[in-house]
Every structure is written in structure tokens, then in C-alpha cells.
Amino acid sequence: MTISEYRNNLLSEINQSAEPLDEETKNLLALAGDKEGIGNLINVINDETTSSEEKISAIDSLNAVSNFSPALRTKMPEMVNALRGQMSADDEAIRYRAFATLTAMKDEVAQERLLSELESGKKEQDKMVPTSMAISMLGTDEKALPGALLREIALNPPDTDSLIEAVRHMPGDPESFDVLKQIMEEDENPLEARAMIPEMINNVDPPAFLSAAREMLQSKGTDHDLAPSLAKGIAGITMPEAKPDVLETKAMVRDLMSSSPESFKTLANEILFEKDESADQ
């Protein structure tokens, strides 16, 4: 099925829906087929004299119909041209919307602009888009973010959200292993970031991960906020050469379970031992 066919099917499905449509949906449906209406909205975005509210409303309306509008398809270059123009808008709401829409389309111009901002060393308040948001937008394209840049941001994040986003999009590769392990081990880092790491790195260097996990469980205990994530990481290891280490780590977890909180016991039992036992049977 081509993109055009998909869009047309979607539009006809909505039109044939048995549910009564509200006024807003009807307007959007009408807009989807209205080339002139779409052209007018693009003109609103380009017009320097229109208010921010009008521009935001125009961008939102175009976004709303972008998946199924055959009329917008013919106006797409004009829309992209207009949105690229709003990447440097004074109003941050317009700017963010322009970047969000363009990066969702993997627009190279928007990607490059965001990336140069991330690499610029500008103060956070001077950036066109906050670091966390920029990473999140660029992260829609798995080839848009260099691992080195993410590692740098993760080690020196301008704020907590940026650290979380940097970890979320960092490749689980050998080059990132040390940075991720360091973030995982530092309790002052947000749990949202640390909790992602065990499953990201468990297969990059299994013995190193198991050793770090054992050390953390022993020193910080199974009531530590990261303990369930470490257990998940241990359960996720599949490399056969790590097997003796895995058995040793599992034995240690079993020992620790007697003094563990109930929640950890249940989880560890479920993901580390029940599976093995049923396999043995």
C-alpha cells in the first residue's frame, strides 16, 4: 500500500464512521480536502503580521490533518518552507511546534539546526529549544544523534530532563558502557535515567555488568531503588559465555532475598528463578 492509498483509506474510514462527528472534527475533515484552505493556513504561518495564536492554531490544524489530507500533500513543500521559517520565531511555542513537526518528518534542515544548537555550548536559556526537548525531537530519527554528543550531555547535563533524555537515546554500545555504568552507580542521578541502564548495557559487556550489579546489590541492598532494574538486567543476559557469572550472581541474589522487601522477592522469583525452574522441569 502506498502512502497515498493509506491516507485515502484513513480519510474514507473517518468519513464512513457510524459515530456522529463533532464540529471540530467536521472542520478538520473539510480542511483535509480543501487545498485553498490549507494554502491560507500556510500563508498565516508565513505572514509576519499575524498573531502568535493564529500561527499556533494554523500549525496545529495542519498537523492534525497531515496524516490523511490529500490536499496537504500537494502543499507539503510550501508547509515545510513556512515551518523552516518559524525555526527562529521569537515565540517559543511557535518555534517548538515548528521544530517538532519538522523533526517528526526527519527534515535535515531542522535536524542540523537543532544539532548545532546542542553542540554550540550556548547557555540553556539562550538556546532555541531546551536540550532535553532537542534530544527528544532528534531521537525520532535513530541516526540523527551522535553517541559522543549524548555521552557529553549525560556527563554534564544542563538539567535532570536532559540527562534522562540523553540516557534514553544513548546507544547501548561499548563506547557508551563506562558512561552509562557511571550514571547507573551514582545515586544522585534521577531514577528515571538509572533504571533504563541495566537493560541497555547488560549485553554490551556481560561480565562487567554482572560485576557492577553484584557490587551494587551487596553494597546498597535489595531495598535500593535500582535493585529491581538490576534484577531485570541480570535476567536479560543471554550470552552463553557469561553463564558462570550469571549463576554466581543469581546465587547471590537468592542469598539476599531472605532479607529483601516483599516486592523485590516477588519480582526476583518471577524473572530469575521461576523461569529456570520450569525449564529444569
Where does this chain bind other proteins (CB under 8 A)? 2-4, 46, 70, 73-78, 80-82, 84-85, 87, 105-109, 111-112, 115-116, 138, 141-148, 171, 173-175
Decide whether 75 or 214 has the Cβ nearer to other proteins. 75
Decide whether 60 or 175 has the Cβ nearer to other proteins. 175
Minimum distance from CB of 171 to other proteins (Å)? 6
CB–CB of 137/165 below 8 Å? no
Decide whether 138 or 267 has the Cβ nearer to other proteins. 138
Q: Report CA 49 to chain centroid distance, whole Å.
A: 35
Decide whether 171 or 221 has the Cβ nearer to other proteins. 171
CB–CB of 71/38 below 8 Å? yes
Minimum distance from CB of 108 to other proteins (Å)? 4
Minimum distance from CB of 58 to other proteins (Å)? 14
Minimum distance from CB of 142 to other proteins (Å)? 7
Per-residue CA distances from 46 to 39, 69, 126, 264, 266 (Å): 11, 20, 24, 56, 58
Decide whether 135 or 268 has the Cβ nearer to other proteins. 135
Minimum distance from CB of 231 to other proteins (Å)? 23
Minimum distance from CB of 112 to other proteins (Å)? 5
Decide whether 3 or 279 has the Cβ nearer to other proteins. 3
Decide whether 74 or 160 has the Cβ nearer to other proteins. 74
Minimum distance from CB of 133 to other proteins (Å)? 17
